[in-house]
Structure 1
């Protein structure tokens, strides 16, 4: 990885330092299958960088854990909705 890529990557993740989850046990955000996600989502609920966190997870294909207040299943659903919306917009323009 070159220096420019490293610096850009660092800037792209600067939001992480303002996240509510800083200092919280990371295991909370990666619960066992079937375990409650309620506590992790509560931490995310009032977070000022929730949107950045969610977009990071979507852009990087995070398959596990709670990101931006959404579980893996919820992120998959959101991805599908976005794809369908983009397809519909494209169909309208064509």
Structure 2
């Protein structure tokens, strides 16, 4: 049976990992024309721009699911912000 420390280590590894589809060609988050800092901005306009770009991605739903599953606490993933994911988690746990 895994110890609490081992489970915490696994969760940390999952949080820092990238989704498996991130290497697919043509993803908006990997487009060199898009500012990579856009996905981690604190500026609401830039967050909205990042979300709009995410919605053009064929993996938007998978990315959002991955971010929820791995409890990503920063950045825009699957057109969701950290705040969106935190609210979704609260609703599920309520």
- What TM-score results when the alignment is normalised by the length of structure 1? 0.65
Task: Give the unaligned 5+ runs of structure 1.
Answer: 1-8, 85-94
**Misfit runs of 4+, over 4 Å:** none
Give the root-mean-square deviation of aligned CA atoms. 2.1
Q: Deviations over 1:23-67 (max 9, x none)?
A: 2332000003xx121110110112110011111111111100111
The structure whose Rg is larger is 1
**Count of matched residue positions in the alignment of Structure 1 and Structure 2:** 72
Task: Give the unaligned 5+ runs of structure 2.
Answer: 1-16
Of 13, 16, 21, the match for 2:29 = 21
Of 44, 54, 58, the match for 2:64 = 54
Q: Deviations over 1:73-92 (max 9, x none)?
A: 111111122223xxxxxxxx
- What TM-score results when the alignment is normalised by the length of structure 2? 0.65
